[in-house]
Each structure stands twice: as C-alpha cells, then as structure tokens.
Amino acid sequence: MRVVTWNLWWRFGPWEARQKAILAELRDLRPDVVGLQEVWADGRENQAEWLAAELGMHWAWAPSPAPERWRRRIGDHTVDIGNAVLSRWPVTDRRTLRLPAPPDIDDGRLALFTRLATPSYDIPFFTTHLTSALHASAVRCRQVAALAEFVAENWGDTPFPTVVTGDFNAWPDSDEIRLFGGYRTAPVVPGQVFFDAWQYAAPDAPWATWAPANPYVAAGGEPGSRIDYIHVSPPGPAGLGHVRSVHRACDGPVNGTWPSDHAAVVADLADVPVPRVAVP
C-alpha cells in the first residue's frame, strides 16, 4: 500500500500552473492513500475533489474554521484552505479536530480523521498541519498532545496500523516529534506509539522536505529541514502495515514549474501479512 503526504502550498505562487504539476506528480506516484495539507476551495471548485476525479480516487476535505489570516496573505477573501485525504478505497467515516493555539498565531489548523474501507480491513488514516511559527515548539507540543488523544478516540478496532500524515513544521529531533512518537519520551496516551517512517529510509537518501533548492523556499533564507511525516503505529498481525520502504518525492520542477514549496514523502506499507520463515 502506497501512502503519500504532501503540503500543496495553497493558492500561493503560480498556483494554476502548479495545479497541473501536482496532478502529474501524483499520477506518477500511483498512491493508494494521500494526506494533503494547504488544499484550496473557492466555492466553484475544490482542489481535492478535482484531484480525486482526475486520479479515480475517493476524497474527504476539512476546511479551516478560521481562514482569515491565510486570505489576507493572498488578498482574496473567497478562498478556503484545509486538509484533505485521497483514497483508493471508500471513506466510511470522517471527523475533524481544531488544533489548539494562542490567539496571536491561531490560523485554524486542523487534524482530519478518515476511516478507509478496504476489502480486507479498515484503515484509520489521519492528516494534519501544525503551526509553522519557528518559535512555537511549545504550541506544537500542545497540538500533538491533542492529536494523539484524537487518534486514540478514533482509530477503532482494526488489524491495520494507524497512519498519521502531515506537515508537522518540526524537525525530527524536536520535542513535539519525540512526544508524538511516544518511545523516546513518555507517550501522551499510555501505550500509544508511532514510528517515523523515515527511519526505514536509506541512510544517504535525500531527506529535506523543506529545501533551499526549491526557489519558493530559497527566498526565506531558512536552512533545509524535514518537516513532513508519515507516522505509523507498530505493525499488526504477522507484520501487516510494516514499512517496506520510504523516500522523498515531488522534489523538482515539472515542465519548468515547481509543484509546491514542500517535497512529498512516500512510504510503501505491507498490505498483506508477511509470511513467517520457519526456523529449523
């Protein structure tokens, strides 16, 4: 099962040209499930709905309840922003959580839960977008605590591991990522653990999902970092959901246009139990 997470950079930059590049990249990846952040809708068209139709996938969308700060940045008060899920399988349930943030940086960030019905089992799948303020690690810690509790309330009884994707706006060694993982420090929810899928990447693999090589990023002068994640709870029976491979994708221009200011992360998970090898 191929899982992708990708921040689509809303309606910033040359968004109409980027739309075509985003679709081309997703077509090439052939994902089964995609968690998307900074997805737009304008009353006439919804980016997630359009991508799902073009890719032959199901979709779910959660708009921000407070898009005003975003709208002021582009000077258009008609465009919504939110998170979305694209899925090869039907979405049978969905819920949203508004993430906590102090008023001075609260721009309506969310977590979106979806339950995906495969022929063999359900998949509890989440996508989220944490606050981006560089100084706000403490806020992100509160957000991942709320996210962890939201996951515990909604994952349900299924043999497939819970998958949590998103733009966490946090470096891998940060307090918030350690807290959400729950194995380098005490977990928010007792017994709830998530592995960062990138731990299965090749040691020399390109890793920065926010990279100065991207011209949309270079203007800000920030160092490259990995801030986009696919988190997976421990494998189910006989290795179901085990991370087989992971890599960075969507990290270059398409016909001269960079699709987003973020690269995507792609993980391939075992979608059938792994046969056990008999030990003589």
Please count the other Cβ atoms lying within 10 Å of the Cβ belonging to residue 114.
27
Residue 128 to residue 114: CA distance in whole angstroms: 12
pLDDT of 91 > 50? The answer is yes
64 falls within a domain? yes
Q: How many domains does one find in the chain?
A: 1
Phi/psi of residue 279, each to 5°?
-100, 120
213 falls within a domain? yes
pLDDT single digits (tens) 26-71: 999 999 999 999 999 998 999 999 999 999 999 999 999 999 999 9
247 falls within a domain? yes
Which domain covers residue 133, as residue numbers?
A: 2-269
257 falls within a domain? yes
Residue 235 to residue 61: CA distance in whole angstroms: 27
Residue 46 to residue 80: CA distance in whole angstroms: 9
- Tell me the β-bridge partners of 123: 116
- Tell me the β-bridge partners of 2: 268
pLDDT of 256 > 50? The answer is yes
185 falls within a domain? yes
275 falls within a domain? no
Q: What is the CATH number of the domain that holds 18?
A: 3.60.10.10
Average pLDDT (64-81) is: 96
Tokens 């709320």 label which residue?
Answer: 146
276 falls within a domain? no
Round the average pLDDT of the chain to a whole number and report it: 96
274 falls within a domain? no
pLDDT single digits (tens) 120-169: 999 999 999 999 999 999 999 999 999 999 999 999 999 999 999 999 99
